Amino acid sequence: MTTVLIVEGNTPDMVAKGHAGANGFIRTFSGLAPEVRVRLANPYAAALHPDELQGVDAVVLTGSGVSWSVDAPEAAPQRAAAEVVLAAGQPIWGSCNGLQLAMLMLGGSVGASPVGMEVGMAQNNVLTQEGGQHSMMEGRSAGFGVPCIHRDEVQRLPDGATLLAGNAHSPVQAAVYEQGDLQFWGTQYHPELSPSDIGVYVRARGIFSDHANLADDLEQAETDFSAAARLGTDPDALVLPQRSRELANWLQFVSGR
């Protein structure tokens, strides 16, 4: 049975208000592979110790709604946790902040997108040649869209990373780093989140609240074709496992090791 450690990207006060980055993964794993066991860690509450990875088959670095970037002084607890995770040798998944965190720690750079926030759906993603051949992207084709919500992005991949997909907003939408014992897969978009999950974030009083006008469509898009169309998608693209294709592929990879 697979055990996954989920490393939370939000602070304890945000988690207490129901905004845990782990929640989307727990729900999605339950739908994709209910046999998966989950453990939780929050570096903003307590430093991650290497012993916490004993008996763990894989690790998730979640997204985050904090107001700072992964290279900011405030993110030092997250960077310390990522250092432990990257040295442990288990497969790692990173969504959004998790992708940025890993790429930064491996030698890349991150920053606010020069074209602003991408909220709702990451649309019109194009696979690179490597992306079309990588098992993480199996089931995806050119022009796919996935729920997203982010201000920052990876602006330079580290040496050794491979770009799998990008779009006009963020050139790095999916990437892997597979060198030696390190097997990291990640996306800038959120395959673990439904549109209604994104709706909760934009309704909250946080960095994404300027996009609250999207909330109604986000909360209806899974069943309402008109709402989905206004977001640039359709309900068929938003059901499990289609919207979570990359995560489903990752779980299969982890279970096959």
pLDDT at 122: 97
- Cβ atoms of 42 and 73 within 8 Å: the answer is no
Per-residue burial over 71-85, b if 16 or more Cβ lie within 10 Å, else e, is eeeebebbbebbebb
pLDDT at 29: 97
Average pLDDT over residues 87-91: 95
pLDDT at 206: 85
What CA–CA distance (Å, rounded) separates 48 from 173?
27
What CA–CA distance (Å, rounded) separates 27 from 7?
15
Average pLDDT of the chain to the nearest whole number: 96
Angle, nearest 10°, between helix axes 97-105 and 76-86?
70
Split at pLDDT 50, 70, 90, the class of 204 is confident
Residue type for 168, please?
A: A
pLDDT at 143: 94
pLDDT at 205: 77
Average pLDDT over residues 225-245: 95
What domain range includes position 135?
Answer: 3-255
pLDDT at 69: 97
- Cβ atoms of 177 and 160 within 8 Å: the answer is yes
What CA–CA distance (Å, rounded) separates 4 from 102?
17
Average pLDDT over residues 146-155: 97
pLDDT at 144: 96
User: What is the CATH classification number for the domain harbouring 139?
Assistant: 3.40.50.880
Which pTM value belongs to this model? Answer: 0.96
pLDDT at 166: 98
Residue type for 15, please?
A: V
181 secondary structure, DSSP code:
T
What does the angle CA 55 – CA 61 – CA 67 come to, to the nearest 5 degrees? 145
How many folded domains does the chain comprise? 1
Phi, psi of 222 (to 5 degrees): -70, -15
Average pLDDT over residues 65-70: 96
